[in-house]
Structure 1
């Protein structure tokens, strides 16, 4: 009666995966999951920074409703007592379990990962987590540093392990307990890599010889990029190895060879993550639960790898907002799976050759805020109602829509265009849209541009992504009453996907964009 849920959430993972067409990365276990899943190739986070994104998709509300744009408020106190996705499963007789980084730790989840509301037992955090930012990277000088690029010998690490290894072990331990208990479970497992520091077992470097690593296709700051849109990647600058390079603030470029090293280590960290996913899914097979467990795999946002002269997240570009998203639903995305079947044999990235295509793929533009209603529907629970226009006092509702109806869509058929639409509602609702937003303290890059605290926010960049374009407006914002003023537009961006897929050529200033403006206002209102 009802399926279990294994919800895998990765920190800072953009879709550099074999199943998303990346030719360089080795991700055989995630690709194998994709080969049994519905894969969404156009999925977007609502804000490209950890805490706001996670609180948004775990509550099913957008950042303007959670009122969290930084790390320093708890939505139940500062916005409304919104139910979360795990809480809803818990209220529907699931045992809910959290391992690793699911909610962002600290104030934004009440220093408890929202326990006891969301979880049946206190969440697990790996003991090795506390060493993440310590000096554990051996430099060329033989000394230890707090570097960005940080391949390590795991046996030399405190405790002889790394956080994600511990999280995998704990998740497998819990799967074994749940098998014995025979209770329905919702198990969320949050992995930390490829979040910085890029600290991973050094053997994964072997998969990526430096001579195979290219720079980003567009490693320069675009000429027409408004200064407010640029993120100056402060967290990267503060690492010992980057600080030593003395790069000028804000637009100075990192040396090419160091850019390649960052990209190499990001890929290596993804393959290290892939091994953890492989071990976890293999354990799901081992306990005989692959036939009645939904598996969701996604990330909280992406990460720039030198595109637009930017690193890290903190922007509205696709590289920062686009995430992998896939759903394995036995009997739906696959033919029925028999009890005890081996769906996920472990694949070693060092020896496995060949990729596997996704079982189903949708190019529809979707949002992470839709996860809550989608998972509820897949698990056979009542789908939470859509939120009214203002919902601060509504405990259970969702601002995302379930995307289950995309699971069996035949992508081949030609969609009706928007020509001849008299009805505004219909013409605006016809094409799916993903909304993201990012706050800034000023019109030009500042030391706190990446992560302004609420009181310092002066401008909000609202960004609308459809199949054909990305349209962003940077407007005046008042943090004292959380209002954006669309009468006061500081800057705008418009990128047409067909001839500018990397979003390098901003045509906002030479385009009549009244239609886009009406549409973005319509969406924000609804």
Structure 2
């Protein structure tokens, strides 16, 4: 099926004619590099579309709004992931993070040696590339930029070179939003009145929550001043009319129900695009000051490359939405996987009105009993009100098991409160959207189906990238894994799982255990299979089997398995084991001595005064800390 509508209609003849004309006008010389547009990305963290130009009356964004008056506002722009690292991986590679295996929050994913990310392609086409300063791609950025530092700037480029420059502002991150530090907004003279804010139904309406929500707008005002500074610098340099400018956020608000949630509130972002007069031909297919063209982060890199007149690498999976090769996509896809020490596999597809979401681990609530959800700010406030039994129903749902499938009509239900999945009149639409999602997952060899432990183990064993590992699976093999994963939350009888328990493929065995974990009936009939799977040669399978056994059975061997897995040298496998131990709750008590005396010390360090690094050791430590807290041990964790 043709998924794309081609904007440009010039065939083979017209590009040849254009080349001939350019050659005549340039008298046989190469086109000057400065004839190509400079491209500036001004990105920021953790905010949904609340700029003033989007109609938000609380926003104080004069710089962005004035830019928007002579620019294009995108009404349907989306991060493909509702949390930073996979979102940024997608942005910079032009590839779905689930294809690369970079969809988990902070990992060290081996990527193909042949993969060239956006700044590399731009450098090869003659651009100076600078990044100030965040990367967070889940793979190494070393050597991929001309400069990536806190002082990186287009002003550092050689004379005469066009530039691609990125400036990322962290002031709107969930940290400052929840911290309520006066120092973060000391440059402001006006502040948002908490009494004027309108909270979504899934957040409790309390003075503290209103203060946090209002502070979020004040941080946006600080960011707007940063935008003003950069625009002034462009003007000082005489480059404002030579530069295409992108202003956007990396995903939705840094608050519960948004960041980390695979829904529209977590995925939709503001995006203002400024194209100077001399480059208006590159956006001639967009009429007016706003557009409903659907774009995802996976499309940003191919678009920038297209604007620069360079060739988009075949490996990139996004599509240009500007320039001569622009296409309009019918669907935008989303994904949520491990964030911090909370496992999740959820996927979404959006057609411009309806958002379909599939949860492959529905037994796990979004709001898990994990350290990340027990910190201060909005999380502390939600927990306080929950303890008093005063949470509204919409907020209570965040703590419950998730529905396996959801369908939202975002036109009539923008707050995503009414699930239409069981409405008979939507059966045809649901079938179409599920079919599109399934086909996309298989086509891109969604590594979330292989699961983190298995994909990383295979990559190391084969000395390969996760991307290449996933593509070593045939289409038919991936279809079988997806078939197993889609059984989660749908099992009517345990006999349905028998073939998957004994499957030769480890990912199928893993998903059979996830389905067993989600099964609400007795699992006594399959205890022999569960005991056998605890001895599986693949750690990811053995860990999950042991977790289910502790929860639902009484074999003491399960604790031995988990203890052994916590002692493995492979941090990825240890992380899964630590997460499984945390999910045991108070039943994890027999493991406390080994956690305290042997395991945690290996991952302790100076990060937040507790952990060895920002990657796997942090999340292992967080899971083990929360396990001890649940079991009644006082832990002085970060604030």
Would the TM-score normalized by the shorter structure come out above 0.5? yes
SS in 2 for 1:26: coil
Q: Give, in whole Å, the separation in 2 of the partners of 1:28 and 1:510.
A: 44
Matched, 1:507 2:420: yes
- What's the TM-score once normalised by structure 1's chain length? 0.62
Q: Give, in whole Å, the separation in 1 of the partners of 2:249 and 2:278.
A: 23
Q: Residues 363-383 of structure 1: CA distance to partner in whole angstroms, max 9, x if unpaired?
A: 122111000111111122223
- Give the CA RMSD over aligned residues: 2.9
Structure 2 counterparts to residues 224-373 of structure 1, below 5 A: 253=204, 256-303=206-253, 305=255, 310-331=256-277, 360-373=289-302
Q: 2:195 aligned to 208, 211, 217, which one?
A: 211
Q: Give, in whole Å, the separation in 1 of the partners of 2:197 and 2:359.
A: 35
SS in 2 for 1:207: coil
Structure 2 counterparts to residues 182-193 of structure 1, below 5 A: 182-193=160-171
Q: Specify every segment of 5 or more residues in structure 2 that has no aligned partner in the other structure, as ranges.
A: 1-32, 363-401, 444-639
Distance change >3 Å, CA 504–CA 405, structure 1 → 2: farther
Q: Give, in whole Å, the separation in 2 of the partners of 1:205 and 1:510.
A: 51
Q: Which residue of 2 aligns with 1:470?
A: 355
Q: 1:51 aligned to 85, 88, 91, which one?
A: 85
Q: Residues 237-274 of structure 1: CA distance to partner in whole angstroms, max 9, x if unpaired?
A: xxxxxxxxxxxxxxxx5x61111111111000000000
Q: Which residue of 2 aligns with 1:124?
A: 149
Q: Residue 408 of structure 1: CA displacement?
A: 10
Q: 1:434 aligned to 332, 342, 362, which one?
A: 332
More strand by share: 1
**Contact preservation (8 Å) 2:252, 2:265:** yes
SS in 1 for 2:261: coil
Q: Residue 214 of structure 1: CA displacement?
A: 2.9
Q: 2:433 aligned to 480, 504, 516, which one?
A: 516
Q: Specify every segment of 5 or more residues in structure 1 that has no aligned partner in the other structure, as ranges.
A: 126-169, 221-252, 337-357, 386-396, 410-429, 441-449, 478-488
- What's the TM-score once normalised by structure 2's chain length? 0.52
**Contact preservation (8 Å) 1:65, 1:79:** no
Distance change >3 Å, CA 374–CA 332, structure 1 → 2: farther
Distance change >3 Å, CA 290–CA 335, structure 1 → 2: farther
Q: Which residue of 2 aligns with 1:460?
A: 345
Matched, 1:398 2:283: no
Q: Give, in whole Å, the separation in 1 of the partners of 2:295 and 2:333.
A: 9
Q: Residues 269-315 of structure 1: CA distance to partner in whole angstroms, max 9, x if unpaired?
A: 0000000100111110011011211211222111165xxxx355001
Q: Residue 509 of structure 1: CA displacement?
A: 2.9
Q: Give, in whole Å, the separation in 2 of the partners of 1:20 and 1:407.
A: 28
**Contact preservation (8 Å) 1:5, 1:187:** yes
Q: Give, in whole Å, the separation in 1 of the partners of 2:118 and 2:169.
A: 19
SS in 2 for 1:473: strand
Q: Which residue of 2 aligns with 1:377?
A: 306
SS in 1 for 2:345: strand
Q: Residues 173-199 of structure 1: CA distance to partner in whole angstroms, max 9, x if unpaired?
A: x34444x72222211111102102235
Paired residues, what number? Answer: 356
Bigger CA radius of gyration: 2
**Contact preservation (8 Å) 1:6, 1:186:** yes
Distance change >3 Å, CA 288–CA 44, structure 1 → 2: same
Q: Which residue of 2 aligns with 1:157?
A: none
